[in-house]
């Protein structure tokens, strides 16, 4: 079952390993071409402050809403031995290769569960490992939160959260806070509606008017996003709803 979930809520859940130990997920790395989560940044008690490791979404087995836990199909020792994550610099293909080779996990450009078994990138030579093409750059959720939203006729808000959908871990929506424009109303914008992202100016351009966004169906961040709400939202914007 596909279930959209707020990233901030998932960050507060306990990550439970096979041996029962706990870890914390602090942010995600997603590719800016397909808006899909490629890695979770995970911290454990044994790690030094500020350090984290790259964990692929495929190790997540179950999400328990009642107990607010995320069950992972790995041990704590495996988590601690994952490639370390540098949350300041972009993640290189070197990190991607390490994470893919460790424990036999598949790198994201091979046998992708969403886009099929055809590699997204051609094979890399060792000297290319540190070269990340711009169109395949991984972005940090912590970096993008706070980006300004530019409608056709001016600013309308800023990115406050990501709505991710398991089990495919695609980013389905950006949660937009319009507190400085629309008296605190929050709205959802799908990445497919984004016209352009200026990573240097930290702005997201949307091909919608401020009035259209202001009149969109009300979004309640305290509730799970239902299919009925999504259908209503897409119908309002004149978009066709697809759920893989």
Q: Where in the chain is the domain with CATH 2.30.30.240?
A: 3-140
Please state which CATH class domain 145-237 belongs to.
alpha beta
CATH 3.90.50.10 residue ranges for the chain:
145-237
Considering the entire predicted model, what is its pTM? 0.78
Pairing of strands 14-16, 22-31: antiparallel
- Pick one of 3.40.50.150, 2.30.30.240, 3.40.50.300, 2.130.10.10 as the CATH number of 3-140: 2.30.30.240
| pLDDT on residue 86 | 64
- State the Cα–Cα distance between residues 31 and 232, nearest whole angstrom: 28
At 50, list the tokens. 């500020």
Categorise residue 68: left if φ over 0, alpha if ψ from -120 to 50, beta otherwise: left
Q: Are the beta carbons of 141 and 159 closer than 8 angstroms?
A: no
- Cα separation, 164 vs 6, in Å, equals 6
pLDDT of residue 50: 64
Q: How far is CA 14 from CA 9, 43, 121, 178, in A?
A: 11, 11, 34, 30
pLDDT of residue 199: 87
Predicted pLDDT at 99:
61
Full pLDDT tens readout for the chain, 244 residues: 578 899 988 988 999 999 988 999 988 989 888 899 988 999 887 776 667 888 999 999 999 988 999 999 999 999 988 888 764 455 444 455 556 566 555 554 443 333 333 333 333 333 333 333 343 578 889 889 999 999 999 999 999 999 999 888 999 999 998 877 767 688 999 998 999 999 889 999 998 898 888 888 888 888 889 999 999 999 999 988 876 5
Write the burial class of residue 204 (CB in 10 Å: 0-12 exposed, 13-18 middle, 19+ buried).
Answer: buried
Answer for the pair 11, 57: CB distance below 8 angstroms, yes or no.
Answer: no
pLDDT score at 243: 64
Residues near 174 by Cβ (< 8 Å), separated by ≥ 6? 149, 159, 161, 162, 163, 188, 189, 190, 191, 204
What pLDDT does 115 receive?
32
Structure tokens at 70: 């995320």
pLDDT at residue 205, as a whole number: 95
> In the prediction, which pLDDT does 150 show?
94
């Amino acid at each position: 079952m596909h279930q959209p979930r707020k990233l901030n809520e998932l960050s507060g859940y306990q990550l439970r390993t096979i041996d029962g130990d706990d870890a914390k997920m602090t942010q995600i790395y997603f590719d800016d071409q397909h808006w899909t989560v490629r890695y979770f940044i995970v911290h454990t008690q044994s790690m030094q402050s500020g350090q984290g490791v790259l964990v692929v979404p495929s190790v997540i087995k179950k999400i328990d809403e009642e107990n607010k836990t995320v069950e992972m199909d790995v041990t704590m020792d495996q988590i601690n031995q994952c490639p370390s994550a540098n949350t300041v610099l972009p993640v290189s293909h070197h990190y991607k290769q390490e994470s893919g080779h460790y424990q036999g996990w598949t790198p994201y450009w091979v046998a992708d569960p969403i886009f099929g078994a055809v590699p997204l990138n051609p094979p890399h030579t060792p000297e290319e490992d540190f070269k990340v093409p711009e169109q395949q750059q991984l972005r940090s959720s912590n970096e993008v939160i706070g980006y300004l939203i530019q409608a056709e006729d001016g600013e309308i808000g800023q990115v406050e959260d990501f709505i991710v959908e398991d089990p495919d871990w695609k980013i389905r929506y950006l949660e937009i806070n319009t507190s400085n424009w629309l008296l605190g109303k929050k709205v959802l914008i799908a990445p497919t509606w984004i016209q352009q992202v200026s990573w240097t100016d930290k702005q997201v351009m949307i091909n919608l008017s401020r009035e259209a966004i202001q009149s969109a169906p009300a979004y309640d961040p305290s509730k799970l996003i239902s299919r009925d709400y999504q259908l209503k939202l897409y119908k309002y914007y004149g978009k066709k709803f697809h759920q893989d």
